[in-house]
Amino acid sequence: MTAIGFIGTGVMGGSMAGHLLAAGHELHVCNRTRAKAQPLVDRGATWHDTPGGVAATADVVITMVGLPSDVEEVYFGGTQAVPSGRGIIDRARTGALLVDMTTSSPALAERIAAVSAARGLATLDAPVTGGDVGARDAALVIMAGGTAADFERSRPILALMGKSVTLMGPAGAGQRCKLANQVAVAIGMVAWCEALAHAKAGGLDPAVVQRVIAGGAAGSWGLSNLAPRALAGNFAPGFMVRHLLKDLAIARDCAAGAGLDLPGLAVAERLYQTAADHGWADEGTQVLYRLRAGG
């Protein structure tokens, strides 16, 4: 059994950490709001007030926070919440493995890897896809960036949280793969939302249309899993609009840096920004259907 630290026990992180605890690992947790970590503490996890406190006790430290700025804060410190010298990298044990599972920027992943290596620490960037359902069912798809040795070291732990665990390349490669995923997700969300809005406007029952076309060439994970929620008026977040917007902004910046024009990405980002402007930033991404179909 391994002493594992888990920082960020929100919608997805709480379930992910729970699988590690259920497997018998010694679990140390920290979260901005303690209440979200309390169910894990009640099951036997140890609470720490700071990310550095977690890092000082663990052989493997996993982070699943919200924004790249949050990743930078917990790894490097230097803020009021995490003072200098109290971040993960400063407090981690020599030889520890640091795994960031947040969707963040490839450049930040590369920086974490370089600074960590200079301090005798191993790293992976290992973002995930699959949403709250995938996290609960330990069925996430995990895409990793780092060395082959560090990936093999992490594999037994990552396999407790995901059904697919793949090394994509060196540091930052996991984040680049996740950005590709988010481009496909966002554009695909626009597709099924507009398809069902079109069906509704034509006098069809969109729920029946959803069931029919999900089994054909138009089928997608979003159409099968998120469309039924949207049609039922359930916009609770498995993944928040604000977080998708964050991912799309990173993807847009990376594309611009490569001289790549992605008009589909631009449309999806504009529509999701409109949803956020309606006050739906904390709703699930399926709220886009509400924007396209009305109501």
Which residues are part of the catalytic machinery? 178
Q: How many CB atoms lie within 10 A of CB 187?
A: 17
Distance CA 122, CA 97 (A): 5
Bin 103: left if φ > 0, else alpha if -120 < ψ < 50, else beta: beta
Which tokens hold the place of 113?
């890897």
φ, ψ of residue 47 to 5 degrees: the values are -85, 140
Residue 127 has, within 13 A of its CA and on its CB side, a CA count of 26
With b for 16 or more beta-carbon neighbours within 10 A and e for fewer, the 96-110 pattern comes to bbbbbbbbbbbebbb
Give the closest residue to 151 by CA, choosing from 131, 135, 165.
165
Question: Residue 290 carries which DSSP code?
Answer: H
The answer to whether the Cα torsion of 35, 158, 165, 249 is positive or negative is positive
